[in-house]
A and B are shown apart, each in its own frame.
Chain A
Amino acid sequence: MNDEQPSLLLCFALFRDQFGYVPNLFVAQRAAPHLVQAQADLIANIFFAAGELSRIQKETIAMLFAATRQNAYCATLHYRNLQTLGISQEKLNKVLEHRPVSGSSRGTVLLDLAVALAGDRTAARACVACACSHWTAKTVMDAVLASALSAFFCELSSRISHAPDFPLLALFPPAYVEPGQVDTLPFDMSTIKEAISRVVPNSFTNLRGQDDESELEVASALAFQEFLATAQITHPSASVSRQFDKDVNDPDRDLVNSAQNGDVVAFSQLVHRHGRGVYRTLIGLLGDSDEALDAMQDTYLKAFQALATFQGRSKFSTWLLTIATNVGLQRLREKHPHESLDDTPDDIDAFRPRQLRAWTDNPEEWYSKKESRQLVEGAVRKLPAKYRAVLMMRDIEELSTEDAAAALELSIPALKARLLRGRLMLRETLSIHFGKEREEARS
């Protein structure tokens, strides 16, 4: 038994936990032990890591990608996972039937992207650009990475072609997307580099450097890189893969390690790096700048005291925002007991829409950046704390529903209800400034 066996067994344990007992897959995988570690790392860094998209969203994208590629084994594997995660068969079947149409909404554009990435490259580039008009670049990156991981699995699965471990889904013929014309994509390089360094583990980037690299390993690694290239993303392994340290899924890892060893300069860098997110989270809870700045100091002092307990199970930034939320909630209860975040009955009239005039087509062009920011800040400050906190986390910090609910200790339905009310109240305030009649009055 060579020294890789224990880690291989750990990888198989992870596959068994995630995919159920799949003996044929295990046997086939033993032909490529380096890939097994890479798969386990990629699953952990893409599917499990906290990111812009939830685990369910990422796995849904991976399932649709595999289905579009007509890879029944991989599609079924994700289908079974999603069922285990509580998604109904009816909903999953609908996703499998998804076909891109023009004028996609925010909710479906990431599914369009998965279909396009699995099919037509020209359409994929247009879809990436379209997705970026609805979602942040980081979110779209998460969708591209979930698709890239699916591409990797599909390539691997088709090459090792083992007997299936379960009955396979019947898949419909692949969908096609109308190609679009896009010259440049709205990603900035720092977002791309951050996303890739966050998810691509050493075991994967080193695959191509193995002395005994096999055709299978190289082809599978290339499948992953090829799909990052689809979105015009340069994989860092081409030039800097040897520079990666042990584990790069948290960009703060080195600084946190140094700070844990008492390096105050490293901790100072973490304060600068995350200060804005901590401040926004606290403004969301407390509504007042001075109080938020004061609570920010408390947050970092508590974080420093508790650093030894941080074991890297979540990203450092998520851990820090949870501390900030606890500090903010405690202050709110002490200083503003009337601003309770508890689930008190709502005054339904408070969020019933009254402004029902159509908005101008391009409201962003109507005010300068500074004016828009002031309008939004004024409107957000007017919200009751329980709506403001949720809205800040979801629509400004762009945390996932699950992460925001966990930080605020709310159930997911309660979080969604508050988000709806916060958005409607904000819409009501902003309607005064963006209604069409203002446009007509100005012209």
Chain B
Amino acid sequence: MISCSDFLNEISNYLDGEVAADVRTQLEAHLSHCQTCSVLIDSTRKTIRIVADSQCFDLPDNVLGPIAEQIISRIQKPGYQRSDT
């Protein structure tokens, strides 16, 4: 019989499909009667989904463009050498 604390430690592996079959069976047995852990796993699953879909920290073209230009101009400066040259 596993505890809520054991369950907590395995949530991430469970959601990533990285637990052994016997552990998985025990976790699912625990889930079937523990409302708290059911809420926890549902909200963690949704957290992962929201984060993946959020397109967070995207770099707009009007920022990327000038940064790329700065990089190229530094590379082209006299004296800037590649390690093989």
Contact = CB atoms under 8 A, between A and B. Distances in A.
Interface string B22-34: 1010000000000
Interface residues of B, number: 51
B57 A424 contact: no
A253 interface: no
Given A107-B17, A279-B57, A301 B74 contact: yes
Given A107-B15, A283-B57, A359 B52 contact: no
B11 A305 contact: no
Interface of A, secondary structure class, is helix
A424 B76 contact: no
A376 interface: yes
A292 to B, nearest CB: 8
A268 B14 contact: no
Given A271-B72, A276-B59, A108 B17 contact: yes
B50 A275 contact: no
Contacts of B42: 358-359
Interface string A375-402: 1110010000000000110011010010
A293 B49 CA distance: 27
A426 B43 CA distance: 10
A426 B47 contact: yes
Contacts of A364: 49-50, 53
Contacts of B70: 297
Contacts of B51: 376, 380, 391, 395-396, 426
Interface string A414-437: 001001100110110011001000
- Size band of the A side of the interface? 35 or more
A304 B16 contact: no
14 contacts: A106-B15, A107-B17, A268-B72, A272-B68, A275-B68, A276-B58, A279-B64, A359-B43, A359-B46, A373-B58, A392-B57, A395-B52, A430-B47, A430-B50
Interface of A: 88, 90-91, 94, 105-108, 110, 136, 264, 267-268, 271-272, 275-276, 279-280, 283, 293, 296-297, 300-301, 304-309, 353, 355-359, 363-364, 369, 372-373, 375-377, 380, 391-392, 395-396, 398, 401, 416, 419-420, 423-424, 426-427, 430-431, 434
Interface of B: 8-9, 11-22, 24, 36, 39-40, 42-59, 63-65, 67-68, 70-72, 74-76, 81-84
